[in-house]
Structures are given as structure tokens and as C-alpha cells.
Structure 1
Amino acid sequence: MRAIIRKLRPAHGTPRTVSAGTVTLRARGVSVSRGGRPILDDVDVEVVAGQILALVGPNGAGKSTLLAALSGELETGSGTVELDGRPLTHWSPVDMARRRAVLPQNHTVGFPFTVREVVTMGRAPWARTVREDGDAEAIAAAMSATDVTHLAERPFPSLSGGERARAALARVLAQDTETLLLDEPTAALDLGHQEQVLGLAADRARAGTAVVVVLHDLGLAAAYADRVAVLDLGRLAETGTPREVLTTEILTRVYRHPVEVIDHPATGAQLVLPVRR
């Protein structure tokens, strides 16, 4: 398959090329504890350019904790996380912000910034670099893609939960990094916007971006992920393609509830359904 190439222009002005299949983030033996209780236990995972990696699992499985460890926002108790082949400790905060963008679960802003101002914050890592010239175009494209252009002058705190989620995603897209880390980006969204957000993630992956997304909806993981990491009680239970790991046996065991995985009779798409009484 022809490799997807994505050219980026970092601060020093020399184009950097990331090809599909390149590992942009890697966790090796990562463990995290809180209050003496293990949250992650010896997790290995690779984030690959040109692919969407979905992190799934029951509540408390460690999905968001793993994402925070990968982003550098949470210190690991043991193990290492590498960004572009070097430990996170090698990079300054600005260097990391030019290489990976993070969408957290909670979208809060302490001051009544407008939506446009919030999205503009995503361009901060590129201030005083050659890429600053593309700020206006990147901001406009991100707002259009997330359907928040009409909200541009609205104060961020006045938005609904779904509108905030889309504006926060626009900020991350405007940042324009080679790796995207998205923590439950569809949680507050209606059906149409859920599909829109995962479609945007898929578009970025096809363009060569490495995408990690925490999802509760296993149907979305089956439809959009290239690889799925199933977490259970802080450990990596399974990893592979959706067809390999989103199976009746594995999901029933991990979620401790009967799950049925079938193919759609018309499209053949993989459907994941809880068994209901």
C-alpha cells in the first residue's frame, strides 16, 4: 500500500516528514498508581501515523489515565513514554505542543473567552515561527469542520455541553500536530455530531496523523478504528484490529455482561450489541 506522507514545517523552518506506519508515541511498561492503588499496570502501546487507535474498556479500566500518560500530563510510576523516539522528559512543553495535541474530557475555560478566541489558543505553539502565517486559515478550517463557525462570537461558558465539546475539538484541530489524543470526544454529542467528529479523526488519519481516541461506544470503535486496545482493570487485555478484538467472547469477558457482535445484514459492518432481557 502506498505510504501516506504528511509534511509539517516546525519552528526552525525545515520540513519534517512523517510517513504512515511511523510510531509517533510509544508506552513501554507504563504503570500508574493513585493513593497506593494501581490504575495502570505494565501497559505497552504504540501510536502509529496514519491510524486511529481506540482505547476501550469498562469504567475504571484506565483509558483516560493511559491517555494522560501518553500526553505527558500524568507522571508514570514506572515505565517510559516516548514521543518521536525520545522520552517525554526530553521535550519542553512547547516542543510537545508542536508534536501532539490533547483534547481532555472536561472542557472548562476560566474566563468568558469567545469561541474564536478559544480556538485561536490552539495556534499558540506556533507563535513566532514560520507556521504563524497559517493561523487564520487553520482557525477558520477547524471551526468549519467542527460546525462552530456560527458560534464564533459566543462566550465559551454560555455554550451547551455539545457545543463546548465541538469548540474544544476545533482548538485541537487548529493546533495541527502529527499526533492527536482525544479523550471521549463524542460523550456530549448527538448522533450526527458523533459521526462528524469520528469522520474528522478518520480524515486526519488518512492524511497521515496518528490518532488516539478514548471511546465508550464500541460501535464507533468498530466503525472507525484501525486498531483497538481493550483495557481491563488497568491492564491491556487485548490489542488488534476491530475484527480481532471486538468479539463476543472478549467483550463479554471484559465488560462482564453478555455482548453480541454481528455483521449488518446489508452492509456487513461490524455491530456490537449488549444482550438485553
Structure 2
Amino acid sequence: MTELLEARSLTAVAGGKLLVDGVSLSLTPGERLAIVGPNGAGKTTLLRMLCGALRPASGEVRLAGRRLDRITQGERALSMAVAGQADQPDPRVTLIDYVELGRVPHIGIRRKREDRDIVVDALRRTGLLPLLCRTIGSLSGGERERAQLARAMAQEPKILFLDEPTNHLDPRARGDLLDLVADFGMTVVAVLHDLSLVAPFATTVAVMNNARLHALAPPREALDAQLVRQVFGIDVLRLPHPTEDRELTVFDLANGASSPS
């Protein structure tokens, strides 16, 4: 299958410190990549280079075969949407006006009525349609996270980038949000902190530590017990569910484990 996004030997440096060191990876349409690692591993820096928000010190990113740094921001916006911690909308803006911002890259491509239909559908798919006249400031944390997703969906991207989308959400809301994203059926790159959310969501996992990529594989292989202990300093246990025909994955503090390098 043709690669939708490809990173070749990406390196990032800031203040003389190496933040990402020679990372290469590729994504095909429909893949969901979870980027995981301890604090300071280079996760968000890698995501920012992949979406074009940060120019790498060396290496390149290609979108559908084209170098990302040679694609205009307007063209990128037709293929990529980003939702994350940096998005702080004016709390006075109504939800529907905020979600309509996702249509800005398409101005002139479709008629206004079609734009509004797409916005309404995005609100419906994220369960926010009854709140369309509410202000952003009046929404709960979980509703604001879904509002970001609705805006991104209204943008109709080929790739959705999420920077810690479950931050500040309770455990049930975290799982629900990622289930919603998975149901969209699009290519996704997400930085995640909670390892328990990774396997149900991701098709591929990139494990970062000390600026380097230590694994790029399906969840079970990437979150191998030995690598999890080495990188995170915790144990991973896979146990039979007591009442259902499925496996439970438990992440536990490793007895006597040294701090991850």
C-alpha cells in the first residue's frame, strides 16, 4: 500500500540539546500510530515535525510522496488537521463558530451550504450537536476535547494529529474519546501518556526514549515486557479477564526496577 506519510532520519535540536535523533517511520492510509515514551523522550517534538509545525534540523517528511517543506500551508491544511494542548480558543466563541474554523482551508472550494452541512455532521458524529449554540467556555473538559475533534473533522483531513488528546480527562472519558477517533476511520498520529489506552486504539506504536526510536511495531510487540521495563521502569502483565473471554493488560510498578534510561 502507498505510504501516506513518511519520515526520513528526522533530527531536532534546541539549545544544543538533541531532542529527536534520526527517526524514520512511515504510515499507510487508515493506520493509527501512538507515540509513547517517558517525559522528555521527544514525543511531541516528533509529532510537530511530522505535521510540519517544526522544521527538522536534518531529515525530511513526505506527504503522499511530496516533501512537506515544499507544500504550502494552505495545501497542508487540506490534508492535515492538528488538535492538541496548544489549541486555546476564545472561550466566548460559540461551538458552531469554532467548528466552522475547520472549513477555512476549503473556502471557495464548496458552497456555503455544503460547508454548514459538513460542520453539522462533525458535531453530530462527536455527540455535540445539541450544544452547538453554547460557548466554548461553558463546555466541560471532555466536551472541549470533542469540540477540537469536531473542528478537525470539519477540516476533512487525510491525517489527524493529536497531542495528548486525553490529558485532563477521567479514565472513562479517555477511552471514549479514543474510541470516537478510531471510528472516524482516518489515519491518526497521537502522542499518548497512558499506556493502557494504547493497545485498544493503535495499530502501530512508536516507543521513544532519550530522543531515539526504540520500537515501531504493533502494540503487543512494541509494548514487550522487556522493553517496557527498560524504557518506563514498570512491568507489563497480560492476564485472563475474570468474567470475559479476553486478555487484560496491566502496567505495574516493577519491584526493584531502576529508573528508565
1:246–1:261 contact (8 Å) kept in structure 2: no
Match of 1:166 among 126, 146, 160: 146
CA distance in 1, matches of 2:112, 2:38: 41
1:263–1:271 contact (8 Å) kept in structure 2: yes
Question: 1:22 maps to which residue?
Answer: 2
Q: What SS does the aligned partner of 1:42 have?
A: strand
Say yes or no: does 1:269 pair with 2:247: yes
2:198–2:219 contact (8 Å) kept in structure 1: yes
2:99–2:147 contact (8 Å) kept in structure 1: yes
Question: 2:172 maps to which residue?
Answer: 192
* Cα 1:164/1:48, change in 2 over 3 Å: same
* Cα 1:70/1:132, change in 2 over 3 Å: farther
Question: Aligned-pair RMSD on alpha carbons?
Answer: 1.9
Question: 2:217 maps to which residue?
Answer: 240
Q: What SS does the aligned partner of 2:236 have?
A: strand
1:218–1:272 contact (8 Å) kept in structure 2: no
Match of 1:43 among 13, 20, 23: 23
CA distance in 1, matches of 2:208, 2:2: 23
Show CA shifts across 1:162-193 (max 9, x none): 32222111101111111111111111223333
1:146–1:166 contact (8 Å) kept in structure 2: yes
Show CA shifts across 1:18-47 (max 9, x none): xxx432111100001111111101001112
1:29–1:42 contact (8 Å) kept in structure 2: yes
1:30–1:41 contact (8 Å) kept in structure 2: yes
* Cα 1:199/1:260, change in 2 over 3 Å: same
CA distance in 2, matches of 1:242, 1:55: 11
* Segments ≥4 residues shifted beyond 6 Å: none
Question: 2:137 maps to which residue?
Answer: 157
User: How far apart are 1:213 and its partner, in Å?
Assistant: 1.1
Q: Supply the AA of the counterpart residue of 1:198.
A: L
Identity of aligned residues (%): 37
Superposition pairs for residues 244-255 of structure 1, below 5 Å?
A: 244-255=221-232
Superposition pairs for residues 82-97 of structure 1, below 5 Å?
A: 82-97=62-77
Question: 1:260 maps to which residue?
Answer: 236
* Cα 1:36/1:143, change in 2 over 3 Å: same
User: How far apart are 1:131 and its partner, in Å?
Assistant: 7.2
5+ residue gaps, structure 1, are: 1-20
CA distance in 1, matches of 2:121, 2:168: 22
Question: 1:222 maps to which residue?
Answer: 199
Q: What SS does the aligned partner of 2:4 have?
A: strand
User: How far apart are 1:155 and its partner, in Å?
Assistant: 2.1
CA distance in 1, matches of 2:140, 2:183: 26
Match of 1:105 among 69, 85, 89: 85
CA distance in 2, matches of 1:111, 1:219: 32
Superposition pairs for residues 76-87 of structure 1, below 5 Å?
A: 76-87=56-67
Question: 2:35 maps to which residue?
Answer: 55
Show CA shifts across 1:57-79 (max 9, x none): 11111111111101101111110
CA distance in 1, matches of 2:44, 2:165: 12
Superposition pairs for residues 122-133 of structure 1, below 5 Å?
A: 122-130=102-110, 133=113
CA distance in 1, matches of 2:30, 2:223: 21
Q: What SS does the aligned partner of 2:189 have?
A: strand
User: How far apart are 1:110 and its partner, in Å?
Assistant: 4.0
2:123–2:150 contact (8 Å) kept in structure 1: yes
* Cα 1:195/1:221, change in 2 over 3 Å: same
Question: 2:182 maps to which residue?
Answer: 202
User: How far apart are 1:158 and its partner, in Å?
Assistant: 3.6
